[in-house]
Homo-oligomer: A and B are copies of this chain.
Amino acid sequence: MLNIGDVARQGGVSVETLRYYEQQGLIETPDRDANGYRKYAPEVVRHIQFIKRAQDVGFTLRDIGDLLSLKADPGASCSDVRDRALGKLSEIEEKIDVLSRMRDVLGTWTNACPSTGPVSACPILDALEARKGPANADR
């Protein structure tokens, strides 16, 4: 059995994060020792790594809670999980699209800026001031 500090070290998170996850219902409430200390089974470390890996691919803690429910539900099907993953994939692609448009516009603008001379003649500020650049083509 592990103390919270052991779990934190092995899981690569802080003890505060562990208490937070517990409070959010992402890890099961651990038993307590006579002194009130949380006592964890070693497998909780894997559980925390599940959460961290899910975060790494873009799932929020709320999403992860849903995934854990599915995982624990014998009636749930593979497609339920896949649907969450596909939904997240769409969200991510949407974000990439938005950012790519920003990148394109900013790239155009920075290319147009001579980098010399006063700000009063800066094409970047010009583009921001008037509706000239393609920045807001769709808004």
The answer to whether A89 touches B103 (Cβ under 8 A) is yes
Number of this chain's copies in the assembly equals 2
A124 to chain B, nearest CB (A): 5
Bound Cα distance from A80 to B115, whole angstroms: 8
Bound Cα distance from A51 to B70, whole angstroms: 44
Bound Cα distance from A45 to B54, whole angstroms: 44
Q: Which residues of B contact A99 (CB under 8 A)?
A: 58, 92, 95-96, 99
Q: Is A93 an interface residue (CB 8 A)?
A: yes
Bound Cα distance from A76 to B91, whole angstroms: 40
Q: Which residues of B contact A95 (CB under 8 A)?
A: 95, 99
- What are the interface flags for A30-64 relative to B under an 8 Å C-beta threshold, 1 for contact and 0 otherwise? 00000000000000001001101110111000000
- Interface residue total, chain A, C-beta cutoff 8 A: 59
Known A99-B92, A121-B78; judge A85-B56 contact (CB<8 A): no
The answer to whether A57 touches B106 (Cβ under 8 A) is yes
Q: Is A1 an interface residue (CB 8 A)?
A: no
Q: Which residues of B contact A119 (CB under 8 A)?
A: 70-71, 73, 76-78, 80-81
